Structure 1
Amino acid sequence: MNWVAWAIVACEVLFWVVVLAGFSARYLFKRRKLGLFFLALTPVLDIILLIIAGVDLYNGAAATTAHALAAIYISVSIVFGKSMIHWADERFRYYVTKLGPAPVKRYGLDHARHSFKGWVKHVLSFLLGGGILYGLIIWIDDPARTDALLSIVSLWSVVVGIDLIIASSYFIWPRKAKG
């Protein structure tokens, strides 16, 4: 595994570390500003990853799947970041501090709509990440060095299509409450 791949792993781990540190500061230690500081570090991790991948490519490295995953990671973080933090916040408050209401369980049309909104976010993430990848392909201007980036865009478009089928299926076969 190359160093860009390790940077992605490190950024993902650090993302959840700073999120948990933010929630702990906010709810367990009643330090709201410190909690906000930690949560504000999440986009900084994206910038660091972008710099790492960009410097590696600038220095002549052939674009690898790890570089493509860095673009995906950044776009997913930008598009889904707020909702991921909200999702984690809701669960932290309920399961760790016992202060908040139980996380919402969605069924029927509500679940289908929520899933479809998630698919729309996936498309936005794909457009942003695909734009980053195509920008890198144009910037590097060497098909031999960017083949991995193009293949990831192709694979990701298939994944977006599968996600659409799954999201649409909830309108046809809605999720039912257990029991």
Structure 2
Amino acid sequence: MIVALIAACEIGFWVLLAAGLACRYVLRMPRTGLVLLLCEPLLELVLLVATALDLRNGAEPNWTHGLAALYIGYTVGHGHRTVKWLDGHAAHRFGGAPPPPKPPRYGMARARHEGKVWLGSVAGAAVATVLLQLAIWYVDDPSRVTSLESWRYVAWRAAGIHGLVALSYLVWPRKPEGGKDTVPAREESVRR
């Protein structure tokens, strides 16, 4: 049941996002679009409540409960950035706004960008850890919560791997073709 609900929440996220952006920019109903976009966190709340009820009704804590915590954490850590990115593209394509700036491609600017994205993964891992710990306390049976405990390590392992990738941009900054450390004029104008 939990896996189906996770899939439904993911599908619902994209459906609400598409509907919200379509209302804002295609149908010229910005308030309706905003309401639809603001409904997205309700999906995670539904998943959280359903997971808690499943555990309360005696379900054996397993990987599906851990996956639900990671999904909610990922959405908290990266959902806003995803919505903002797609909103900028929809505003450009359908609303006549200027094109959204692309992330920097080279040097320290790229390293800073990757660091900010990594902070979203850290926030997601922290949220997942809190939810998993609450579930462990809720179940209150050490013999039944090993699956939930292992998902905490999965969350932080994913954040750690993402951190190493982000760190690689700092240690080995990518240079523009030609090997110069300067940022091309086009990227410099986009950052302003």
Give the structure-2-normalised TM-score.
0.84
Tell me the residue number matched to 2:30: 32
Alpha-carbon distance between aligned partners in 1 of 2:104 and 2:163, rounded to the nearest angstrom: 18
On the 8 A contact 2:70/2:155 being kept in 1, the answer is no
Distance in 2, Cα, partners of 1:119 & 1:91:
22
155-164 vs 3-12, greater mean Cα deviation: 155-164
Shift of 1:86: 0.4
**What does the per-residue CA deviation read over 1:6-30, in whole Å, with 9 as the maximum and x for residues that have no partner?**
1001001100110110000000010
Measure the CA separation in 1 of the matches of 2:154 and 2:43.
25
Counterpart mapping for 1:110-149 below 5 A = 110-149=109-148
Relative distance call for 1:178 and 1:6 in structure 2 (3 A) is farther
Task: Between 39-48 and 122-131, report the one with greater CA deviation.
Answer: 122-131
Of 118-127 and 11-20, more deviation after overlay is shown by 118-127
Taking structure 1 as reference, are residues 105 and 79 closer, same or farther at Cα in structure 2, changes over 3 Å only? closer
1:15 and 1:42 in contact (8 A); partners too:
yes
Question: 3-state SS of the aligned residue for 1:143?
Answer: coil
- 1:84 matched residue in structure 2: 82
Closer, same or farther in 2 for the Cα pair 1:64/1:152, shift >3 Å? same
Separation in 2, partners of 1:57, 1:178:
55
Q: Is the 8 A contact 1:94 1:103 kept in 2?
A: no
Classify the secondary structure of the residue corresponding to 1:30.
coil
- SS of the aligned residue for 1:112 comes to helix
Identical pairs, percent: 33
Give SS of 1:138's match.
helix
**Deviation per residue, 1:99-151 (Å, 9 max, x gap):** 43144131221111011112222112211210110111111012332221111
TM-score, length-normalised on structure 1? 0.90
Shift of 1:78: 2.1
**Aligned residues: CA RMSD:** 1.9
Shift of 1:97: 5.6
The equivalent of 1:8 in structure 2 is: 6
CA positional deviation for 1:71: 1.2
Q: State how far apart, in whole Å, the 2-side matches of 1:178 and 1:26 are.
A: 40
Structure 1 residue 178 displacement after superposition: 6.4
Q: Which blocks of at least 5 consecutive residues in structure 2 are unaligned?
A: 179-192
Q: Extract unaligned runs of 5+ from structure 1.
A: none
